Chain A
């Protein structure tokens, strides 16, 4: 086919000197507009479903909320059921989980970023951590059940807060390590080099310069990880958390329940009034999560403005 020059205004489907090339611009642009609408709808549909979910939970749950609901230990009927046992249990769990997972995670991240040489063992550790991040949470529950509840039962008290916290700590440890590594990596090399040039040892540099600069980013990641741990149900059920409890634990070796476990228990009861109770529990859980996520985002925004 011979080449021919065409003026830019020609877009009508008329055969030209060069052949029967028909750009079909009209229908192609129409198809483009339809596609743009489709992908926009795809994006919006997820958000719409989220909105429906939140409205449904709020409508069923908010009427049932009251100070009584938050402080009651009742569990026998929809009228006197309360969240207190779950709130205290979750508090215990998060405190212990933070105690175990945060130092371990930050320590591991500092080692991998600042100290570890690039040998096969350290590369295996890195691959291992990213694999652990993808393991289903219920497997962590099985790990805790088999080892912490049964074999180490004499240490942990069996089905206890310690075993539950162990499951959650191991679950969020990879997340904390990955987030802290990013924060440490973001510290500029000049800071370290300046410190070394002045004669500081490696630990001096890390403790005095790298860690303080990486801490806000690490804290953001840690708080997000902890907020994920608060919402986890499956590992705790496998460890043996009680779904209905009318007393609060006195120590880390006691049996326990938690916010999401209570919600699970209420959801599975067929009688009429329990659905509202479960919805109210969900509202409480979401408020707690919202608070924690806001704290994390605030820390991140504050330090991004300063940094």
Chain B
């Protein structure tokens, strides 16, 4: 085939001219179709924000935001209903605190062991098993908390072990402990990523100066990974706050403003489930309250997730 100077696209029928017009339209159509799939995710967020704000605003026309935030009792079904979110929020935070007391040491400890102590063979076995903890459905954890942990603490399982014989059947402590177990994998895996990102040079410098492994880990590696570990902590907190089934089954369904974990109390998520599964048709105040509580929940977890992303970016940029 000879090159003919000065001739354009249409002249040599043997030269390929690129995709035909039909093909180009097809390409644009497909690109548009796939883009629509991606934009659905924006629609989802818009939908969530819209429905929460819209229904909650109907509620806030009856009850002022100030009363919602400051009242100290929650009695939705009384003749003079009171809606103080503090009651539900305190239960959520108390159970979350118990969960974090369990999950932070155990998760961080497991992350340290897996990243700095365990051999590759041991890691290959133990890591997937820890991941299984994350795959257990939360209703199973709720069942476990109600039918095993609470009786165990009350002394009904092992006759010689009864630390809290007067523990209420529904209580915040069992729910918090089991929730802690549930978020161990979250804390462990984010912490482990952070520990792994610490450069070997830092560790080796410490060893070269004569530090033991314990000293290297606690005085060099963990402080270097602190932003990532903070991210793990915040992410665990966010998961615990948004968790529903463990608390709905094991912590109780009566709103109770108390800091005593042996009492039963109702969290924000348990409240939503309780009202939604009852007879509360759309348009009633009770129906609208679940959106107000849901909006509070969404704002809290979204803020925590954004803050934890910030901490993850910090340690990723450091190294």
A241-299 CB contacts (< 8 Å) to partner B: 243, 260, 263-264, 267-268, 275, 278-279, 282, 285-286, 289, 293
Name the residue on A nearest B129 (C-beta). Answer: A47
Q: Is the CB of A264 within 8 A of B249?
A: yes
Q: Tell me, yes or no, whether A76 is within 8 Å of chain B by CB.
A: no
A161-206 CB contacts (< 8 Å) to partner B: 170, 173-174, 177, 199, 201-203
Q: Tell me, yes or no, whether B298 is within 8 Å of chain A by CB.
A: yes
Name the residue on A nearest B268 (C-beta). Answer: A138
Q: Is the CB of A174 within 8 A of B41?
A: yes
Residue interface mask A206-250, B partner, CB < 8 A = 1: 000000000000000000000110111110011010010000000
- One of A12-20, A91-99, A127-135 at the interface: A127-135
B101-124 CB contacts (< 8 Å) to partner A: 105-110, 112-114, 117-118
Known: A136-B269, A139-B298. A177 touches B139 (CB 8 A): no
Q: Is the CB of A135 within 8 A of B277?
A: no
A42 touches which one: B113, B139, B210 (CB < 8 A)? B113
A47 touches which one: B126, B272, B290 (CB < 8 A)? B126
Measured in the bound complex, the distance between the Cα atoms of B244 and A233 in whole Å is 9
Chain B residues with CB under 8 Å of A145's CB are 276
Name the residue on B nearest A224 (C-beta). Answer: B135
B245 touches which one: A35, A116, A142, A234 (CB < 8 A)? A234
Q: Is the CB of B113 within 8 A of A39?
A: yes
Q: Is the CB of B298 within 8 A of A135?
A: yes
Q: Tell me, yes or no, whether A307 is within 8 Å of chain B by CB.
A: no
Name the residue on A nearest B250 (C-beta). Answer: A267
Chain A residues with CB under 8 Å of B139's CB are 231, 233, 260, 263-264, 267, 282
In the assembled complex, the CB of B134 is this many whole angstroms from the nearest CB of chain A, namely 10
In the assembled complex, the CB of A124 is this many whole angstroms from the nearest CB of chain B, namely 7
Known: A35-B214, A201-B19, A238-B273. A134 touches B110 (CB 8 A): no
In the assembled complex, the CB of A27 is this many whole angstroms from the nearest CB of chain B, namely 10
Q: Is the CB of A39 within 8 A of B110?
A: yes
Q: Is the CB of A278 within 8 A of B143?
A: yes
In the assembled complex, the CB of A258 is this many whole angstroms from the nearest CB of chain B, namely 11
In the assembled complex, the CB of A107 is this many whole angstroms from the nearest CB of chain B, namely 3
A268 touches which one: B114, B210, B249, B290 (CB < 8 A)? B249
Q: Tell me, yes or no, whether A155 is within 8 Å of chain B by CB.
A: no
Q: Is the CB of B140 within 8 A of A131?
A: no
Q: Is the CB of A50 within 8 A of B282?
A: no
Measured in the bound complex, the distance between the Cα atoms of B136 and A232 in whole Å is 10
Name the residue on B nearest A103 (C-beta). Answer: B37
Chain A residues with CB under 8 Å of B276's CB are 141, 145, 237-238, 240
Name the residue on B nearest A106 (C-beta). Answer: B37
Measured in the bound complex, the distance between the Cα atoms of B40 and A174 in whole Å is 11
Q: Is the CB of A42 within 8 A of B138?
A: no
In the assembled complex, the CB of A5 is this many whole angstroms from the nearest CB of chain B, namely 15
A28-46 CB contacts (< 8 Å) to partner B: 28-29, 31-32, 34-36, 38-43, 45-46
In the assembled complex, the CB of A130 is this many whole angstroms from the nearest CB of chain B, namely 7
B interface residue numbers (CB < 8 A to A): 16, 19, 23, 26-27, 30-31, 33-42, 44-45, 47-48, 51-52, 54-55, 105-110, 112-114, 117-118, 126, 129-130, 132-133, 135-144, 146-148, 181, 184-185, 188, 210, 212-215, 217-218, 235, 238, 241-245, 248-249, 269, 272-273, 276-277, 282, 290-291, 294, 297-298, 301-302, 305-306, 309
Give 29 A-B contacts (CB < 8 Å), ordered by A residue. A23-B210, A34-B214, A39-B113, A42-B106, A43-B118, A43-B130, A46-B106, A46-B110, A46-B133, A47-B129, A49-B181, A50-B132, A56-B144, A107-B37, A108-B37, A111-B37, A125-B38, A125-B42, A134-B305, A135-B242, A136-B244, A136-B301, A142-B52, A142-B290, A143-B47, A203-B26, A203-B27, A264-B249, A289-B137
Instruction: Kindly list the 4 A-B residue pairs having the minimum CB-CB distance in the complex, ordered from nearest.
Output: A136-B242, A42-B109, A231-B137, A107-B37
**Given A31-B212, A108-B40, A136-B297, 6 more contacts at CB 8 Å?**
A56-B144, A57-B140, A174-B41, A203-B26, A227-B135, A231-B136
